[in-house]
Structure 1
Amino acid sequence: MATSASSSPISSSLGVHAIGTAALRGAVAGVVASLVMAMYAMIAAATYQHTGFFTPLYHIASTFIAPDAMMSSMMAAGSGSTFTFEFGPAVLGAVIHMMVGAMYGAMFAVIARMARLHGVALIVSAVVWGAVVFAVSAWIGLPLAAAIFGGGDPIADMASMVGYPTFLGEHLLFGGALGLLLAARPGTR
């Protein structure tokens, strides 16, 4: 009895190519959805949080670098300068955020493909996925990343520092954007 990749349950029912295509489309949609999420976070930081427009990017970057840019941005915002910009930490934060968005987008797209979700069910499921990503990030992923990469409390406690309602809202927007993007693309069903 020979076994091959084509005889596995996933490859026989959906095809390895279909799963790979779903993962790629999900990764691209995840990057775009992460940008929607980031814009909301940055607008929240500049407006009702009063911590500085670019602070969310610096906050994410502090996974790998000292939180100096984040702290400087927050202090400047407290003094009325909402748009303090530091190129390196901003780019690092954006790249990290988009990579994580790509990963979660790919994971969801594969799950959605295997479950054969489409239309409203796909979009609603993606919003629920955003809530799952919120919970995993807040209580597992971020504390783990802080421990592994030395990000400390700014990373481990990111959800509470940002505020749970805002952090949840960001992730629901991520899920909604992800679902809309995947539902709008032919071949993701």
Structure 2
Amino acid sequence: MAAYAMIAAATYQDSGFFTPLYHIAATFIAPDAMMSSMQSAAGGDSFYFSAGPALLGAVIHMMVGAVYGAIFGLLVWVAKLRGISVFVSGIVWGLVVFAASVWVGLPIAAALFGGGDPIRTMASMVGYPTFLVEHLLYGGVLGVLLAVRPSHR
């Protein structure tokens, strides 16, 4: 998911390879790194890097993904899903996470932590199609990982 977001940002979005990490970090810090990255990309440098905001964005993203992944894992376990049904359910879960993020999680995070518009409107800033593909990839990979896991009965 993150790799796709970063490649999209560096290529067809022309906003800078690390911009997605800075965008996520803007939940808790000023969006300065995000804006600098976007300005650098507009000037032809798609690889502006600021370690602190990049690390913060990566940690936030991984923690949120881990929580959603744990919830999905519990649902798969309770429903006793196996094989291809786990993969298909993962894709559906990616859609659920997309919707929950866009219309619930991001607006709440923006209000609680002071991220404002960059966080509240993240999906529209990124572009809904790209944001949706990111989440479907997340769900699909999550589904594959759980589908091929060793069974411990």
- TM-score bracket, shorter-length normalisation: over 0.9
Q: 1:110 to 1:188 in 2, by over 3 A?
A: farther
The reply on whether 1:113 has 2:88 as its aligned counterpart is no
Aligned position for 2:9: 45
**Contact 1:113–1:188 (8 Å) recurs in 2:** no
The reply on whether 1:176 has 2:140 as its aligned counterpart is yes
Aligned position for 2:58: 94
1:143-178 deviations in Å (ceiling 9; x for gaps): 000000000000000000000000000000000000
Aligned position for 2:40: 76
Aligned position for 2:123: 159
Percent identity over the alignment is 71
Partner Cα separation in structure 1 for residue 38 and residue 89 of structure 2: 35
Partner Cα separation in structure 2 for residue 160 and residue 145 of structure 1: 16
What SS class does the counterpart of residue 27 from structure 2 fall into?
coil
Partner Cα separation in structure 2 for residue 87 and residue 183 of structure 1: 35
Partner Cα separation in structure 1 for residue 82 and residue 10 of structure 2: 36
Aligned position for 1:130: 94
The CA RMSD over aligned residues, in Å, is 0.9
Aligned position for 1:27: none
**Contact 1:125–1:179 (8 Å) recurs in 2:** yes
1:12-55 deviations in Å (ceiling 9; x for gaps): xxxxxxxxxxxxxxxxxxxxxxxxx0000000000000000000
Runs (4+) off by over 4 Å: none
* TM-score (structure 1 length as normaliser): 0.80
What SS class does the counterpart of residue 112 from structure 1 fall into?
helix
Partner Cα separation in structure 1 for residue 152 and residue 101 of structure 2: 26
* TM-score (structure 2 length as normaliser): 0.98
Aligned position for 1:143: 107
Amino acid aligned to 1:140: V
Superposed displacement of residue 186, structure 1: 1.1
Partner Cα separation in structure 2 for residue 130 and residue 186 of structure 1: 23
Note the residue ranges of structure 1 that are not aligned, 5 or more in a row: 1-36
Superposed displacement of residue 188, structure 1: 6.9
Q: 1:68 to 1:111 in 2, by over 3 A?
A: same
Partner Cα separation in structure 1 for residue 105 and residue 66 of structure 2: 15
The reply on whether 1:62 has 2:26 as its aligned counterpart is yes
Which structure has the greater CA radius of gyration?
1
Partner Cα separation in structure 2 for residue 132 and residue 64 of structure 1: 24
